[in-house]
Structure 1
């Protein structure tokens, strides 16, 4: 069975083809991705209307590219999967509309996928896939969550952010330092040249006794420190970047270790864009190795939003019989959609 996956939740258009059998993990046949970073840089952030229009331009050429690379045609596709939510409403509607139109034209069923479930299951596309159960640290865009994962669709929320997520803390702090959009990768790169102990920045909720996160206070502390530095900010920017990154990584590390201890599990999955951060990976690897814990990540090129994770999530749900695709081509999207609500199969709209 071939599953075509379409991702269009924000500022990346992703398409992928995954081959799934009755047993074993589904296999990625081909994928293609277009990032809108260059377009949004002039505005310092994502402009939803521009994002939607660009998805419209990109999704069909990317689909043709993926099928060509995989050596297959549209007629070989058995299911068309798409990101149903969460994300930008207009952007989600593009992917959903194209997927349902393709499904109707081909006479093939469609399946709406949860964006965060895509991230959560993306490490199964790697050369070192995890095994259930595990603790998952989801650090994607506006989401920072710790989940206990006992199987596909079996997710228990352990803790989440109560305000800014880790990715937002990276991006907003970078913007305060005058770094280009998207700020997170720029801050991480600059941090490699700085002293992580140069500035004493807060670690919000680090000793709260629960597994929730809060990064808004850190952003405020970075703003205060930048203003204190004044004209010296440029000379000390690398130190401030390194100190900011250290604060974020420290919180993610300690909370993840606490989640593992509370869950009595020895396997950790890290997924989402922030999961590509080198400092986070290095510290998690070292701390988990000391505790006999296995850590799994997506391949670096699959950390950001992509169609492969959507096709994979759809294939895994279908393979375990958790959700059936539908040949009803009316659709809705869910800009806000808690991952923990995925327990039981949900009927498609229409």
Structure 2
């Protein structure tokens, strides 16, 4: 089955062709970073309008790269939520219209299920069951995964997700947009032992997380440096280093606790923040010490992309799951609401 995947949940337009026999054939991605940089964050209306401009040309480019025709497509998968309502509707309307024209099935995909299954695009795939750490701009979740659609939420963020905390830290330090990569890059120049940031909620039982306090700690640390005439680029780098270490340590502690609680020794880490070097190294060290396994998507599939949507949709289409002509975008949508499938 040849499946076209369409991702348009926020500020990246992703298209991919996934063949259930031969794997990923081609993918294209357009990022709106430059469009939103002027405003210091994503402007939903501008994001929706840009998706409209990009979707059809990217579909054509992906088909050409894979040496396929529209008539070769057997099914379409599109992101139905969560995300920005206007951005979701642009992708959904193109997907449903094309599916109707080609008389093929279409299925709406949960954006976070796409991220969760992104490591399945790699040659070495994790076996079920496993613990998944999903860390992105809007989500920080720890999930027990017993199969596709068999998800149990073990821990969630109570306020700012890890990605949000990175972006807000960048804004507090006037590092520009997008914030997360800029904090990480500056952290490489930072001194490890100058500042010690708290590891939030690690002294409490459970797997829930909170990162808003780190943002406040960053602000207080920077304001003190300004007051002491020490507002230098090196100080910014040292703060970024301390912040990044605090997030990485917190996530590692929570993952270790989840693995022990569930009696598992296999960890999957996905979502945009999973591209962070420090977080990867901490979790790799954790699993090496435990003699367990850890799986990451390749860097290009950590952020939003069409390949993960094509893969997740293909699994559901293979299980004969599809929607009718009516479609809806779901800005808020729990993973635990998804139906389990058996392949």
TM class, shorter-length: over 0.9
In structure 1, the partner of 2:231 is 233
* 1:324 Cα deviation from its structure 2 partner: 1.3
Q: Are the aligned partners of 1:4 and 1:80 in contact in 2 as well (CA < 8 Å)?
A: yes
Q: 1:264 and 1:196 mapped to 2: Cα distance?
A: 33
* 1:334 Cα deviation from its structure 2 partner: 0.2
SS of structure 2 residue aligned to 1:233: coil
In structure 1, the partner of 2:312 is 313
In structure 1, the partner of 2:15 is 15
In the TM superposition, what whole-angstrom CA distance separates every residue of 1:225-258 from its partner, at most 9, and x where no partner exists? 1111114222411100000001111111110111
* 1:209 Cα deviation from its structure 2 partner: 0.9
Instruction: State how many pairs are aligned.
Output: 338
In structure 1, the partner of 2:270 is 271
In structure 2, the partner of 1:45 is 41
Q: Are the aligned partners of 1:155 and 1:343 in contact in 2 as well (CA < 8 Å)?
A: no
In structure 1, the partner of 2:167 is 171
Q: Are the aligned partners of 1:196 and 1:240 in contact in 2 as well (CA < 8 Å)?
A: no
In structure 1, the partner of 2:123 is 127
Please tell me whether residue 325 in structure 1 is matched to residue 296 in structure 2: no
* 1:332 Cα deviation from its structure 2 partner: 0.6
In structure 1, the partner of 2:257 is 258
In structure 1, the partner of 2:31 is 35
Q: Are the aligned partners of 1:173 and 1:219 in contact in 2 as well (CA < 8 Å)?
A: yes
Q: Are the aligned partners of 2:75 and 2:317 in contact in 1 as well (CA < 8 Å)?
A: no
Q: 1:170 and 1:343 mapped to 2: Cα distance?
A: 33
Segment of structure 1 superposing worse, 201-210 or 301-310: 201-210
Q: 2:285 and 2:316 mapped to 1: Cα distance?
A: 33
Q: 1:324 and 1:210 mapped to 2: Cα distance?
A: 35
What does 1:26-175 align with in structure 2 at a 5 Å threshold? Answer: 27-175=23-171
Q: Are the aligned partners of 2:170 and 2:183 in contact in 1 as well (CA < 8 Å)?
A: yes
In the TM superposition, what whole-angstrom CA distance separates every residue of 1:19-45 from its partner, at most 9, and x where no partner exists? 014xxxx61111000000011000000
SS of structure 1 residue aligned to 2:177: coil
Q: Are the aligned partners of 1:79 and 1:325 in contact in 2 as well (CA < 8 Å)?
A: no
SS of structure 2 residue aligned to 1:137: strand
Structure 1 stretches of 4+ moved >6 Å:
none
* 1:126 Cα deviation from its structure 2 partner: 1.4
* 1:318 Cα deviation from its structure 2 partner: 2.9
Q: 2:188 and 2:138 mapped to 1: Cα distance?
A: 24
Q: 1:44 and 1:119 mapped to 2: Cα distance?
A: 25
Q: Are the aligned partners of 1:123 and 1:296 in contact in 2 as well (CA < 8 Å)?
A: yes
SS of structure 2 residue aligned to 1:226: helix
Q: 1:318 and 1:261 mapped to 2: Cα distance?
A: 34
* 1:344 Cα deviation from its structure 2 partner: 4.9
In structure 2, the partner of 1:348 is none
In structure 1, the partner of 2:198 is 202
In the TM superposition, what whole-angstrom CA distance separates every residue of 1:180-234 from its partner, at most 9, and x where no partner exists? 1011001001101102321121211111110000001111111111111114222
* 1:82 Cα deviation from its structure 2 partner: 0.3
Q: What TM-score do you get using the length of structure 1 for normalisation? A: 0.95
* 1:74 Cα deviation from its structure 2 partner: 0.5
RMSD: 1.1
Q: 1:128 and 1:224 mapped to 2: Cα distance?
A: 44
In the TM superposition, what whole-angstrom CA distance separates every residue of 1:105-143 from its partner, at most 9, and x where no partner exists? 111111000000000000001132111110000001110
